[in-house]
Amino acid sequence: MGRAPLFAQLVANTDNGFYRQDIISVRQFDREKLAYVFGLAEEMRHMVQQVGSADLLHGRVLANLFYEPSTRTSSSFMAAMQRLGGCVIPINEVRYSSVTKGESLVDTVRTLECYADVIVLRHPEAGSAQIAADCATKPIINAGDGTGEHPTQALLDLFTIQRELGRIEGLTVAMVGDLKYGRTVHSLTRLLSHFGGRLQFVSPEVLRMPAELLREAREQGMEATEHQDVAEVIGEADVLYVTRVQRERFEDQALYDKVKDCYVITPELLERAKPRMTVMHPLPRVGEISYDVDKDPRAAYFRQMENGMYIRMALLAAVLGRA
């Protein structure tokens, strides 16, 4: 109880800065917008825990268009829409759609917007979400565009940091693994740059954070350092954000084999970490975090995943806010 007024406000809220807007990049978010989305996501959590679902988006339709594999992002968007009373056109297997007949992204998007109110798009090419947004009249939500961005993941990552540690300002965040191809770390780096603090980028030489992102973070006033050894940073980190080496982005499979097992987080390694550090991972993991770590209370990746649904509920409600 006591939550109803916010829902009532939201139902009437088309003036929230998100209504009918695309969500393509984390560059669209400042601290005020982040606070708005996080506040709504908390309301969503409360609502789901209390009653399971609401009819806020009753009659609204989401098209979930995935040109790349996905478990969490696609199913959490579907669950988010359904828990708000809307429904979903799931195109998770583009090989069974007209894409296989050679249909372009633009034509597929223009088709789906005839039926849906919002399109969630995952695509292997960086920049594809913007291309879709340029041709669509309905809002496009970027669910990962190649090595580019993954804004909704970065929002749920930041939301998780806030919940796990009670703050975001001035933290030391170590990002570990494939910083070159990993879109989640690209988006998260940009968002963290609103909050000051320290970024420690840990990767093999061939998978370093792109220079442009490093420069951007430093220009925003972040202290950013690069490392090859997790042991160098583990004692100082407040957040250990671990990523998978992105096999599908490698042209040279021999190189992938060389770097794929570069880091493995184990309970022994975590003995050297702060007692309140949080371990995160966008998932899927393919060996970078040993299963023994799961029972450590600092392992936040399953809570992180759950937070994704609340963040996506908040975004869908804001973008589709009923007039």
Contact positions vs ligand NCD (CB under 6 A): 72-73, 144, 150, 153, 183-184, 244, 282-283
122 as an active site residue: the answer is yes
User: Considering 72, 110, 163, 208, which one is annotated as catalytic?
Assistant: 72
Phi-psi region of 287 (alpha: psi -120 to 50; beta: other; left: phi over 0): left
Task: Give the number of other Cβ atoms within 10 Å of residue 264's Cβ.
Answer: 13
Helical (H) or strand (E) element with 33: helix 31-51
C-alpha to C-alpha distance for 273 and 278, rounded to whole angstroms? 9
User: Is residue 101 flagged as an active site residue?
Assistant: yes
Catalytic member of 60, 150, 186, 312: 150
Catalytic pick among 45, 60, 83, 122: 122
Beta strand 118-123 pairing with 198-202 = unpaired
Q: Which is nearer to ligand NCD, 72 or 274 (CB)?
A: 72
Active-site residue 14, yes or no? no
Examine the residue annotation and report whether 46 is marked as an active-site residue of this protein.
no
DSSP for 65-114, written as a single string: EESS--SHHHHHHHHHHHHTT-EEEEE--GGGSGGGGT--HHHHHHHHHH
Residue (54 or 309) nearer to ligand NCD, CB: 309
Q: How far is the CB of 150 from ligand NCD (least distance, A)?
A: 5
Q: Which CB sits closer to ligand NCD, 72 or 227?
A: 72
The minimum distance between CB 183 and ligand NCD, in angstroms, equals: 5
CB of 311 to ligand NCD, least distance (A): 12
Does residue 244 carry a catalytic annotation? Answer: no
CB contact burial 226-241 (16+ within 10 A = b; e otherwise): eeeebeebbeebbbbb
* Minimal distance, residue 26 CB to ligand NCD, in Å: 13
Residues with catalytic roles: 72-73, 101, 122, 150
